[in-house]
Amino acid sequence: MGGLISRRVFLTGSVAVMAAPALASAPAVSLRPKARGVAVVQRGLPSVEALIKKARLGGQVSYSVANVATGQVLEDHNASIGLPPASVAKAITAAYALKVLGPGHRFRTRVFGTGPVENGILKGDLVLAGGGDPTLDTNDLADLAAKLKAGGVREVQGRFLVWDGALPFVRQIDSSQPDQVSYNPAISGLNLNFNRVRFEWKKTGSDYTILMDARTDKYRPEVRIATMRVADRKSPVYTYEEKNGRDSWTVARRALGKGGARWLPVRNPAIYAGEVFQTMASAHGIRLKAPKQVKSLPSGTVLAVVESAKLSAILKAMLKHSTNLTAEVVGLWASKVRKGRVSGLRASANEMNRWAKDQLGMTKVALVDHSGLGDASRMTAGDMTRALVAARKHVDVQPLLKDIPMRDADRKILENHPVKVQAKTGTLNFVSGLAGYVRAPGGEELAFAVFAADTKRRSALTKAQRERPDGARSWNGRAKILQQDLIDRWAVLFGA
């Protein structure tokens, strides 16, 4: 919180609001209480203009708050201005996937053979076929290899094929991002470890030991799909080049220090998954040839399957951790089920936009992806608030949203605060959003959206500056304080 309203003052204000006479018929927009008790409380609150001025954000600030039960807008500011929603877009994606696929949907990754298995020998090719699972990891491929062996396969005479054609291949979500950011990976029908590879380095004498692996809590298989070379230069820190379908990286020696690790994006996820499965199969005594990617799925007999968790659990984790790959995959899969096919990320986002207009009452939504990573996306606070009210009745995402703690002026969490917030955050450099639900002590439920963006400042950044630009962290911190100051205000004014 911005420290504007103490817990005691909040509770006192709530009593004053509850003492106000009920309104029989609320107006459609910008309801401002007229009762004397409310007016007293309102005089003790900073104005909206004062809160925005204190935040010193520049650019534009937009918000809207509505009563969930009635749908009536209680207060808004620039609510029809379209701004980048950042990861707040994932709340719309979650609603879209829930409605189209159902909360119990599971993704399936299969291994099958193109020939018979005789005396433990597969007389044909072995195929690893992706089913769009956004959460598939190295542990899952180890389980799949174990199931293959338990099914009686000891040897494969033919080729080892990988197929990722269940979804269109997308080389990266947003081309304006720096090459090395792991939250901007490739997407396909076969994804592994969120299509990231772990780069670890340790200084040994005057040189470095480099490791590139597909690490999980149980396994650390090294990979060949991505290589790293230490270069004697000051900058840039990283360079990237695709060579023969593989990711070739270099890193500046001066940036490494004594040691460390970070995740890097993978641009060829099918071969990445194939290499890791090859390693896992080898651990069970099943030797496979190097993986070869195929465009068409061969026919054959299913030999082993692993399934994802239920979609509802996947979406809850996506909203908590704001995982871009998960958002893009579930959005693409929903569009595929809805239309029978999907040609690419922009086409799928357009299909979700149409669905949101039809099902959630949004009027100006213009998303270019499902994650919010692309800053060309636009959404209005009024639209988002309206969608949250509609979603509460038709495709409820509220139980999947993250609990947002209330904080004091020093950003310390206020324990046992009477206001409860469940929402989705959204952060890009010089872009910040928050949208969700507020539960006040009196039981009143509010839906809200707050968007802030300095698009001119963001547009001025070079591609190289977009990972950690000067001033972005403090800007986003002030935006978060403004969001909670506004929630404080609404809870006092409209919370009972």
- pLDDT digit string, tens, across residues 50-59: 999 999 999 9
Question: Is the confidence at residue 317, as pLDDT, over 80?
Answer: yes
Q: What is the pLDDT of residue 411?
A: 78
A 10 A CB-CB count for 55 gives 22
Q: Tens of pLDDT along 101-156?
A: 999 999 999 999 999 999 999 999 999 999 999 999 999 999 999 999 999 999 99
How does the average pLDDT of the chain come out, rounded?
Answer: 90
pLDDT at position 242 over 70: yes
Q: Regarding predicted confidence, which is higher, 182 or 470?
A: 182
User: What is the model's pLDDT at position 211?
Assistant: 97
With residue 145 as reference, give the H or E element that holds it. Answer: helix 138-150
pLDDT at 252: 96
Give the tens place of pLDDT for each residue, 213-238: 999 999 999 999 999 999 999 889 99
Q: What are the b/e assignments for 68-95, b being 16+ CB within 10 Å?
A: beebbbbbbbbbebbbbbbbbbbbbbbb
Which pLDDT band, with edges at 50, 70 and 90, does 174 fall under?
very high
Please give the residue that has the higher pLDDT: either 441 or 198.
Answer: 198
Q: Is the pLDDT of residue 27 over 70?
A: no
What value does the CA radius of gyration of the chain take, rounded to a whole number of Å? 26
Res. 84: pLDDT tops 90: yes
Domains in the chain with CATH codes: 7-102+311-494 (3.40.710.10), 107-308 (3.50.80.20)
Q: What percent of the chain has pLDDT over 90?
A: 81
407, 1 contact by CB (below 8 A) = yes
Model pLDDT, residue 442: 80
Give residue 49's pLDDT. 93
| Structure confidence at residue 198 (pLDDT) | 98
Query: Quick count: other Cβ atoms within 10 Å of Cβ 7?
Result: 15
Per-residue pLDDT band at 290 (split at 50, 70, 90): very high
Q: Is the pLDDT of residue 44 over 80?
A: no
Tell me which residue of 33, 76, 144, 154 sits closest to 496, measured CA to CA: 33
